[in-house]
Amino acid sequence: MIPSPYKASSGEEGLATGLTKVQAGIITIIILVAVVAGVYYMVTQGREAEKPVTVELTGDFETDVVNIGKALAAHGIKEVKYTVWSGGDPNSVMRVYGIVEAAARITKIWGDKGVDVKITVTTRYESDPKIVYSDYISKWTLGQAPDIMANGYVYIASLAEEGYILDLTPYLEKYSDFLEDFYSALVDAMKYKGKIYGIPQDTEARPIYIRKDVAECAGIDLTGLADKVKNGEFTWKDLYDLALKAKNAGCAEWGVIHRKGSAHPDLIQFIFAFEGKLYNDATGKLVLDKEAVYKWFATEKAFADAGLLPSDMMGWDWGKQIHPTVVNGKTLAFIGGVWHWTEWQTKSYYTDPATGEPRPLTAEEVHDFFYYTLFPAGEPGKKPVTLSQPYAWMINSKAGYQNPDFDKLKDLYLKLAFLLVVKASDPDINAIHSIISSHLPVTKSALNLLRDSSWVADLVNLPTIVSGEVKNSISDIVARTANPINVAFLEDATYMLDYTTFTPKHPLYPKLAEFFAEAIDKVLRGTLSPKDAVDFLVSKINADPDLKEAVEIVGEIPSGWSLTG
């Protein structure tokens, strides 16, 4: 038998005995040093955290800012860094630049008072706010989440539940005057289990836009329609008839189109328009209202079957399909939001009939093209609705973590982050955001500013903005949108808030909302009937023990109901 070539010969025994004593010794020393260094680090960190520095808030903004600035300077801090993230439509960039501007204003106060500290803010703005939320969650434990995030209030429940955002209630005790300027319904939306976790940043209504030119082409008279909708005299069945008329007359390719991807928040309006429930206040549970959800599905299905609503609607592209279809008049109606009003004025969705080139609409064109109403009642006897999803400025419970001596100066960093948000709620910052992004103002003082025509007329130069970065970033949008027509639109659409509804603040609501999106997609594509889609939802809820526990399933699928009668 020949010796195995893989085995060392006996002459190499010395090499073949594995690690030598020296090697083993080196490895042991490395491990020991690592362990000792780790323990030392933990012990010293702990010691430093023993003596945290605090500053009491007085409720006077300038005093508080100066006190914090002086305390920071006394500990050798020259620069405080914060990160702010947000997302949404392209015009809502003040959701991050508001904080940049607030930082510039606070730095200016410090400069005036001889405090040598400055704040620098890093921003990130995404088109999809859900990605911002997902990243916030996944980066939080890693210590890479932003210090401040502006996002839908609907995320407050899960973020507060996980301890990822700061409870602002104790800070706001000293700032009650500041809080009173906000509309109380919006402050209520910021609460979770009795505590306030966010400061309202904006809110909105979701009108149905109807193309005036398409209606005229089809011989549809829109006079007084908004009032009929308001009184519940015009329902989804009536909109269906108008859509059919417009399509049959060859005036539009589609009757109505809506958002893609998600059912939350726009399509949830259907549930409320059929007087369905999504949340039970008494039990604190989510609700699947089978009757209302069935009617929602059946309504959309009726539109899709008649070729009035694309069957692949949930897969359309916002920039390439949805907006161009709306602004080029290829649909009679669009389930949109107030912010689209100015988005159409800044993004090149419109194809100019004269040149064939894409360009944004002007304020005058938007005004001439679009009629708007509330979301009609689902059926006679029910009420019209709209849905608001206030944005909230939320503060990381570890805000300021990227700055030196965080354990010792944590209180200062957290309070400074809070004061940044307070400053970012200045009336002019909020009013600028409202004008350029067509969101409704959240404070009474911002609304008053919007009503001041001389302030609006002077806005193009952004006289109150301190930060050069903010000026540069928003001047183009301001130039296109700071227009009395847009202010009038905001004023005119504000009545819709009287009819507004909210989605539940429940940690599992985002999960339920995803199921709705899956179900309506299947209904529109024809893979499930409205009835099967409701059963699909029931089985998905029952298949998840957590959700089964958290959701009440109420009502029955009505037999023989159809939109068209």
Partner 1 sequence: MPKSSVFSSKALHGFKQFVRSEASRFLALALFLVAVFYIIPICISVYMSFTPLRNWNIDRYAGIFVGLENYYRFFYLLANDPSVKSVFLTTAVFVALTLAVNVLGGLSLAIATFFVNERAAGGLQLLWLLPRMTPIAVYSLIWYYFFHPSSIGTINGILYKLGLISKPIDIGQGIIPWGAWAIIVFVNGLVGVSYGMIVFTSAINNIPKELVIAARVDGASNWDITRKILVPMLRWHILYVTTWQLLSLLTTYDHLFLLVKWGLVNRDYGTTWSLYIYNTAFLTGLQDQGLAAAAGVILVIVSSILGFITLKLMGFDKLIKPPRGDL
Least spacing, CB of residue 400 vs partner 1, in Å: 18
Q: How far apart are CA 156 and CA 159, in angstroms?
A: 5
Selected binder of partner 1 within 512, 520, 534, 563 (CB under 8 A): 512
In the bound state with partner 1, the residue whose beta carbon lies nearer, of 217 and 557, is 557
Least spacing, CB of residue 372 vs partner 1, in Å: 29
74 forms part of the interface with partner 1 (CB under 8 A): no
Selected binder of partner 1 within 200, 536, 551, 563 (CB under 8 A): 536
Q: Which of residues 247-266 bind partner 1 (CB under 8 A)?
A: none
37 forms part of the interface with partner 1 (CB under 8 A): no
Q: How buried is residue 41: exposed, middle or buried, by Cβ count under 10 Å (0-12/13-18/19+)?
A: exposed
Least spacing, CB of residue 437 vs partner 1, in Å: 26
Task: Candidates 83-91, 194-202, 409-417, 541-549: pick the segment binding partner 1 (CB under 8 A).
Answer: 541-549
Q: How far apart are CA 272 and CA 533, in angstroms?
A: 18
Q: How many residues belong to the chain?
A: 565
Selected binder of partner 1 within 70, 81, 471, 525 (CB under 8 A): 525
Least spacing, CB of residue 539 vs partner 1, in Å: 6
140 forms part of the interface with partner 1 (CB under 8 A): yes
Number of chain positions touching partner 1 (CB under 8 A): 43
CA-based radius of gyration for the chain: 29
List the one residue out of 416, 225, 424, 469 whose CA is nearest residue 333. Answer: 225
Helix and strand element counts for the chain (H, E): 25, 18
The tokens 């991050």 sit on which residue? 96
Least spacing, CB of residue 537 vs partner 1, in Å: 10
Q: How far apart are CA 541 and CA 538, in angstroms?
A: 5
The tokens 């005058």 sit on which residue? 364
Q: How far apart are CA 341 and CA 209, in angstroms?
A: 10
Beta-carbon neighbour count of residue 539 at 10 Å? 9
Beta-carbon neighbour count of residue 340 at 10 Å? 26
Q: Which residues pair with 165 in a beta bridge?
A: 396
Rounded (10°) CA dihedral 260, 262, 263, 266: -60
CB-CB contact of 252 with 246 (8 Å): yes
In the bound state with partner 1, the residue whose beta carbon lies nearer, of 16 and 249, is 16
Q: How far apart are CA 370 and CA 213, in angstroms?
A: 8
In the bound state with partner 1, the residue whose beta carbon lies nearer, of 3 and 353, is 3
Binding mask 116-135 for partner 1 (x = CB under 8 A): ------------------x-
In the bound state with partner 1, the residue whose beta carbon lies nearer, of 59 and 358, is 358
In the bound state with partner 1, the residue whose beta carbon lies nearer, of 310 and 400, is 310
> Two tokens at 491?
């004023």
Task: Candidates 107-115, 157-165, 329-337, 365-373: pick the segment binding partner 1 (CB under 8 A).
Answer: 157-165
17 forms part of the interface with partner 1 (CB under 8 A): yes
Q: How buried is residue 119: exposed, middle or buried, by Cβ count under 10 Å (0-12/13-18/19+)?
A: buried
Q: Which of residues 268-327 bind partner 1 (CB under 8 A)?
A: 312, 314-315
233 forms part of the interface with partner 1 (CB under 8 A): no
Least spacing, CB of residue 310 vs partner 1, in Å: 10
Task: Candidates 13-21, 251-259, 296-304, 427-435: pick the segment binding partner 1 (CB under 8 A).
Answer: 13-21
351 forms part of the interface with partner 1 (CB under 8 A): no
Residues 6+ apart with CB under 8 A from 251: 214, 217, 218, 332
Residues 6+ apart with CB under 8 A from 353: none
Q: Which residues bind partner 1 (CB under 8 A)?
A: 1-2, 4, 6, 8, 12, 15-19, 134, 137-138, 140-141, 158, 162-164, 312, 314-315, 507-514, 518, 521, 525-527, 536, 539-540, 542-545
